[in-house]
């Protein structure tokens, strides 16, 4: 089967850095026209120029996933300028690293508002458009291995990702009748600009030794799972979470 996204329209949230930026490049290289969304629009414009220079098409769109009005405006803009959305990569996320005893209500709400409420509201807004237009679609939520395993200092983050992982199954159930597939990717440690300094440190090297494959993931290690879930190659998959972690969650206790 050929995996092509030609003529598909994709929305990638959190495309201004890290994994979202990479996902947008990957989808565009496969033929999709990609709306790249986040709050830092200067970075989105750079990315759109980069994608255009590589022969693709991208539309920078301002989006704050904690604000329902911003979500509606962003999706309306994508529909008006690119057309109806076929693929959503629900990737925006934040992490607060603090011991649970020191985590404030504001810390908790900040993480949940972006990672769980925000992801739900964006998925819901895209699904409403798909249902109204009677079009099928594919939603790919970006969860984390912290949805399945524990890690100190990440109580709100891990709980938000466990919520997103389960939300994936509930939405898959509700929206299957509309032809909307909802799946998730649970990445392990993937090297991006914000964590590469940590992983070069002795503490970071110790973490890498606990990964069975003995290396960090690279953003491109997620391409196979992304393309499977976003394309017709994954047409009979819904409610699934694909773990991409070099074996980290099966490491021994």
Ligand X SMILES: NC(=O)c1ccc[n+]([C@@H]2O[C@H](COP(=O)([O-])OP(=O)(O)OC[C@H]3O[C@@H](n4cnc5c(N)ncnc54)[C@H](OP(=O)(O)O)[C@@H]3O)[C@@H](O)[C@H]2O)c1
Q: Which residues of this protein are in contact with ligand X, per CB under 6 A?
A: 13-14, 16-20, 38-40, 63-66, 91-94, 114, 142, 144, 187, 189-190, 192, 194
Paired tokens of 59: 């539309």
For the CB of residue 134, give the shortest distance to ligand X in the complex, in Å: 28
Number of Cβ within 10 Å of residue 171's Cβ equals: 23
Give the residue from 72, 75, 83, 88 showing the smallest Cα distance to 24.
Answer: 88
Task: Closer to ligand X by CB, 20 or 234: give it.
Answer: 20
Task: Closer to ligand X by CB, 9 or 164: give it.
Answer: 164
Task: Closer to ligand X by CB, 19 or 228: give it.
Answer: 19
Q: SS3 of 214, please?
A: coil
N-term to C-term CA, the chain:
40
For the CB of residue 129, give the shortest distance to ligand X in the complex, in Å: 18
Q: What burial letters (b/e) apply to 88-120, b meaning 16+ CB within 10 Å?
A: bbbbbbbbbebeeeebeeebbeebbbbbbbbbb
Number of Cβ within 10 Å of residue 64's Cβ equals: 17
Whether 136 contacts 88, CB under 8 Å: no
**140 forms bridges with which residues in the sheet?**
89, 183
For the CB of residue 106, give the shortest distance to ligand X in the complex, in Å: 14
157 is catalytic: yes
Task: Closer to ligand X by CB, 94 or 162: give it.
Answer: 94
Q: Which of 23, 108, 157, 175 is catalytic?
A: 157
Q: SS3 of 28, please?
A: helix
Task: Closer to ligand X by CB, 67 or 232: give it.
Answer: 67
Residues carrying an active site annotation? 157
């Amino acid at each position: 089967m050929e995996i092509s996204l030609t003529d598909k329209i994709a929305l990638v949230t959190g495309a201004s850095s890290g994994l979202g930026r990479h996902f947008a490049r990957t989808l565009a290289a496969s033929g999709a026209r990609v709306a790249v969304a986040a709050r830092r629009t200067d970075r989105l414009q750079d990315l759109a120029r980069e994608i255009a220079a590589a022969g693709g098409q991208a539309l920078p769109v301002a989006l704050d996933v904690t604000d329902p009005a911003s979500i509606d405006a962003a999706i309306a803009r994508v529909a008006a300028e690119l057309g109806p959305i076929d693929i959503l990569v629900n990737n925006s996320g934040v992490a607060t690293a603090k011991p649970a005893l020191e985590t404030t209500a504001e810390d908790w709400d900040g993480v949940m508002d972006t990672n769980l409420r925000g992801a739900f509201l964006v998925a819901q807004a895209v699904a409403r458009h798909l249902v109204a237009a009677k079009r099928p679609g594919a939603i790919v939520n970006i969860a984390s291995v912290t949805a399945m395993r524990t890690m100190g200092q990440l109580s709100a983050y891990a709980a938000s990702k466990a919520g997103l992982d389960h939300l994936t199954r509930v939405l898959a159930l509700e929206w299957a009748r509309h032809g909307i597939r909802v799946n998730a990717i649970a990445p392990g440690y993937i090297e991006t600009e914000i964590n590469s300094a940590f992983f070069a440190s002795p503490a970071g090297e110790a973490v890498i030794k606990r990964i069975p494959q003995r290396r960090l993931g690279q953003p491109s290690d997620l391409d196979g799972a992304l393309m499977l879930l976003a394309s017709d190659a994954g047409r009979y998959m819904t409610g699934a979470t694909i773990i991409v972690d070099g074996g980290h969650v099966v490491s021994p206790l």
